[in-house]
Amino acid sequence: MSDSDRKRWALVTTTGVLTGVGHGFAAFAVSALLKPLALDLDTGRGAVSIAIGLGRLVSGLSSPVVGRITDLHGPRLIVMGGMILSAVGLFVLSFVQSELQLYFAWSLLLAAGTAAGFTVALDKLVVATFVRRRGMALAVRFSISAVVATLIVPVVSFMVEHVGWRQTCIVWGVIILFLIPVPAIWFRQPPAAERRTLEPKGLNAPEVQSFWRNKNFWLIAVALCTQASVTTGLTVHLLPMMTDYGLDPVFAGTLFGVMILLTIPFRLLAGYIADRLDPRHLPSILGGLIALEGLAICSFPLTPGLPSVLVVVCALGIAAGAPMVLVLVICNELFGQSSFGTVQGSLMMVQVPGTMLAPALAGYAYDFTGSYVAVIAGFGVLLIAGGSMLGFVRMPAQVR
């Protein structure tokens, strides 16, 4: 392996660690905060879920802007700014005393900071760094992120149990601030000549302004929205579900980490397949995976209990690992690398309604019925329908 290859893979590793620390806390470790936060603010799980859902709204609406800035100017400044904003959001969150303050800290500051610092810009950096093996590079990035998130979920659960959720937020904000020198020193936009070599050859990729009129974009967007919405809704409530059935909170946090760990081999497999298989087959593979996830999740409403909760955990871990790798490779093949950040950011924005409503829907379903059965049944059916839609995506022929 040449020095250039080592630097590329080291960069992939770095982006994975950053995403695991930042986005991993906001997306996964938040489940450990849901119960104590609701009790401390004297509110219900539904109200806290609304704050999380509004955070998805802010994150989704800001993602196209983040993607466009990254396409034009590179990831360095946008990542640094996002990390600073995330840390400020965590510090403010540690002092909230009301639902309104919670919405400001979580739904605005932390959500916008996470979108800018830990998602689109880092994905674009990896895509812009690799001429070949982009699928495996993305898979390794997400796998490293999953490992870090796996480690932090039980850690955060332990901290919440022993020092409180407020102190936990402060500690995590400090950790993020200490990591800011990494993008400040290392992240750079590739030279213009190098960026031109990264474009797929033989594709009739649409201009940035025209992908909104592309049928393939909307089929992918709707299917991805269903998968992201269900994953978000279940992830936010997964720890409370497990503790409701008698599991110790720290042990439940460990199982949650195992779920994230399960994503790793399937992400790597998805990257391997994406780099070697004809791109025309990728949408069908992705659609089948999402539909199978829906079938597995439907086992919970059929036989509610701890065993079926564990099936849901496994289904999320297995099926949540591969989709994002495949989606990003498909989008790069369809729309080109120069507009990758804008397209990905737009896909994240389209997900907003579902990812915003799903946690709140699950929370209020529990508040009113004392059970997650009905909403999880709906989630399973939604996944099956969304996966089926990807069978209508048509990939262009590509000259290799």
Q: Domain-by-domain residue ranges, the chain?
A: 3-392
Q: Using an 8 Å Cβ cutoff, are 306 and 357 in contact?
A: no
pLDDT at 46 over 80: no
Q: How do residues 47-66 score in pLDDT, each as one tens digit? A: 787 887 788 788 888 999 99
Percent share of the chain, pLDDT over 70 = 92
The pLDDT value given to residue 192: 44
pLDDT tier for residue 141 given thresholds of 50, 70 and 90: very high
Kindly give the residue spans of alpha helices, DSSP state H, lying in the chain. 3-24, 30-40, 45-73, 76-93, 99-102, 111-118, 120-129, 134-163, 165-178, 181-186, 192-197, 215-244, 249-276, 282-297, 299-302, 306-319, 323-335, 340-350, 352-369, 373-389
**Average pLDDT for 5-33:** 87
Max mean pLDDT range (25-39, 116-130, 171-185, 376-390): 171-185
pLDDT in tens, 160-214: 989 999 999 999 999 999 999 999 988 865 544 344 444 444 344 444 457 778 8
pLDDT of residue 12: 93
* Architecture category of domain 3-392 in CATH: Up-down Bundle (1.20)
Output the pLDDT for position 364: 84
Q: What is the pLDDT of residues 316-339, one digit of tens each?
A: 777 767 788 888 888 888 887 778
Residues 6+ apart with CB under 8 A from 41: 47, 48, 96, 97, 98, 99, 102
Q: Given this model, what pLDDT does residue 191 score?
A: 44
